[in-house]
């Protein structure tokens, strides 16, 4: 946390930038209050880079447009009915919103929009005190009616008013609490935690899409684990992704096994580490993180307590893939994400057979073929799934996966294994066999693909001979 003096200096520099100076001068000339609000002010105190600029004003939407149009390159009525006008000024997009004093009915999270008349009144209706601060412009006066600076210094997430009332107004704020816990590295105030626990079931009035969006934002943070723990501990996860809480399996005194929930959080953290290491500077990989978090979600349904203190989870990969697919569909994730997560979970145990005996080239080809465009994510997930504290075992698995990746690289140099295709395509199969489009063409294609996987490239001539022999044997 930077000092208050450093934050004030940073805010002064921000206010003096030509874009903000032009805007604040234009609103002042028109006789309206104008302030930088929310996240940018918070981030100045945290020493974070300020990206999105949000402003609030006493001007009405029509008055905002009249002031902004002469100095903006473009403008949009992104939420005019809610008092928000967006504009591009000096090449950057800003959003300006009329003071609000909304009223909620308690049945939905959609407020009855009412415009307010004071900056302080606008701020106290916001979600958390650290987001309820503003820098009044052009005066450069910090406005903090709810003690946001104190909470920032204490690294505490609290609400401007009673937390239970805040979450009654908008239950999605509970999901935001989990996200900000992870994003900012803060702890929630006891009152906030209690209200989240009490009000968890009211998340049902929020649209699935908004819940999934907040979950995605949480998972994209640098360290999502604290936020996930908060969701599980308060019971919110039961209404978002109940598979998480289900992984906290009861420990039987005679049967010892890893805590599946804690293991999954460790795998997520390690996957993020590998992601950063192997792809520095790239955007967070939501698909990989979902797969890491849910890769063992099939274990509760497949757990068996065997004699001698052995616990088994046979076929938890297949069961888990189906459960994850069902959950992500319910959350209305896109089909590409759902399919990729399903595939990764289904394949996440495949590698462990590699350590039990040397794979043939055909087995390596099959691994690459089955992973398809998810191979790099599978590399990361499989490595991250090694959480044993036994250093010797961890090293052995790491060396084995290094060897597998080296063999994949060697095969890539000799043949195109990333896009395995038969030596003959569908048109050529029809010509060789003298048939038209039909089910038999698909069967022949699959035969040649399996041949290509097992034996590598054969060439058109040999592939034709093998296809004709297969066809003749099939007709007998």
The verdict on whether omega for the bond into residue 270 sits within 30 degrees of 0, i.e. cis, is no
pTM of the model: 0.86
Residue with tokens 């005019």: 80
Which top CATH class is 155-240?
mainly alpha
Question: CATH 1.10.110.30: which residues of the chain?
Answer: 155-240
Q: Nearest Cα to 134, choosing from 123, 124, 118, 121?
A: 123
Location of each CATH 3.30.460.10 domain in the chain: 4-154
Angle at Cα 51 formed by Cα 49 and Cα 56, nearest 5°?
120
Per-residue confidence (pLDDT) for residue 59, from 0 to 100: 95
Q: Specify the CATH number for 4-154; select among 3.30.1370.60, 3.30.460.10, 3.30.1780.10, 1.10.3470.10.
A: 3.30.460.10
What pLDDT score does 254 carry? Answer: 42
pLDDT at 309: 73
Are 36 and 140 in contact by the 8 Å Cβ rule? The answer is no
- Taking Cα atoms as reference points, which of 133, 135, 176, 138 lies closest to residue 157? 176
Separation CA 350–CA 371 (nearest Å): 10
Which pLDDT score, from 0 to 100, does residue 358 have?
74
Q: What is the pLDDT along the chain (476 residues), one digit of tens a residue?
A: 456 778 778 888 888 889 899 999 999 999 999 999 999 999 988 888 877 889 999 999 999 999 999 999 999 877 777 789 999 998 889 999 999 876 666 566 566 667 888 999 999 999 999 999 999 999 999 999 999 999 999 999 999 999 999 999 999 999 999 999 999 999 999 999 999 999 999 999 999 999 999 999 999 999 999 999 999 999 999 999 999 999 987 554 444 556 899 999 999 999 999 999 999 999 999 999 999 999 999 999 998 887 877 788 889 999 999 999 999 999 999 999 999 999 999 999 998 877 666 788 888 888 998 999 999 999 999 999 999 888 898 888 888 899 999 998 888 888 777 777 888 888 898 998 888 988 888 888 888 888 888 888 888 888 888 988 888 887 64
């Amino acid at each position: 946390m930077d000092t208050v003096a450093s934050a004030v200096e940073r805010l002064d520099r921000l206010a003096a930038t030509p874009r903000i100076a032009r805007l604040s001068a234009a609103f002042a000339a028109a006789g309206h209050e104008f302030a930088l609000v929310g996240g940018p002010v918070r981030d100045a105190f945290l020493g974070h880079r300020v990206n999105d600029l949000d402003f609030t004003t006493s001007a009405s939407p029509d008055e905002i447009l009249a002031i902004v149009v002469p100095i903006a390159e473009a403008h949009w009525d992104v939420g005019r009915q809610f008092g928000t006008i967006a504009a591009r000024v000096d090449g950057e997009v800003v959003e300006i919103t009329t003071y609000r004093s909304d009223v909620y009915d308690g049945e939905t999270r959609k407020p009855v929009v009412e415009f307010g008349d004071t900056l302080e009144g606008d701020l106290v209706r916001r979600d958390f005190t650290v987001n309820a601060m503003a820098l009044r412009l052009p005066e450069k006066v910090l406005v903090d009616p709810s003690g946001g600076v104190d909470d920032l210094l204490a690294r505490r997430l609290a609400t401007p008013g009673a937390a239970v009332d805040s979450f009654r107004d908008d239950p999605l704020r509970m999901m935001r609490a989990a996200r900000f816990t992870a994003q900012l590295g803060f702890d929630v105030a006891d009152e906030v935690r209690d209200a989240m626990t009490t009000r968890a079931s009211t998340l049902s009035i929020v649209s699935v899409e908004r819940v999934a969006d907040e979950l995605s934002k949480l998972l994209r943070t640098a360290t999502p684990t604290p936020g996930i723990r908060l969701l599980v501990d308060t019971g919110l996860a039961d209404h978002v992704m109940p598979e998480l809480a289900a992984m906290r399996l009861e420990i039987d005194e005679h049967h010892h096994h890893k805590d599946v929930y804690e293991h999954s959080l460790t795998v997520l953290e390690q996957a993020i580490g590998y992601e950063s290491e192997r792809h520095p500077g790239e955007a967070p990989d939501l698909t990989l993180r979902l797969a890491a978090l849910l890769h063992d979600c099939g274990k509760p349904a497949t757990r068996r307590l065997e004699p001698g203190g052995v616990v088994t989870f046979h076929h938890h990969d297949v069961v888990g893939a189906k459960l994850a697919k069902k959950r992500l569909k319910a959350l209305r994730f896109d089909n590409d994400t759902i399919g990729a997560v399903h595939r990764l979970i289904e394949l996440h145990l495949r590698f462990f057979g590699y350590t039990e005996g040397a794979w043939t080239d055909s087995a390596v080809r099959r691994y690459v073929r089955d992973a398809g465009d998810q191979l790099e994510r599978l590399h990361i997930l499989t490595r991250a799934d090694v959480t044993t504290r036994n250093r010797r075992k961890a090293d052995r698995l790491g060396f084995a996966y290094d060897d597998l990746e080296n063999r994949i690289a060697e095969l890539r140099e000799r043949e195109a294994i990333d896009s395995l295709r038969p030596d003959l395509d569908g048109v050529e199969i029809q010509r060789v066999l003298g048939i038209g489009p039909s089910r038999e063409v698909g069967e022949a294609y699959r035969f040649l693909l399996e041949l290509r996987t097992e034996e590598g490239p054969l060439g058109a001539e040999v592939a034709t001979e093998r296809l004709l022999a297969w066809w003749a044997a099939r007709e007998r």
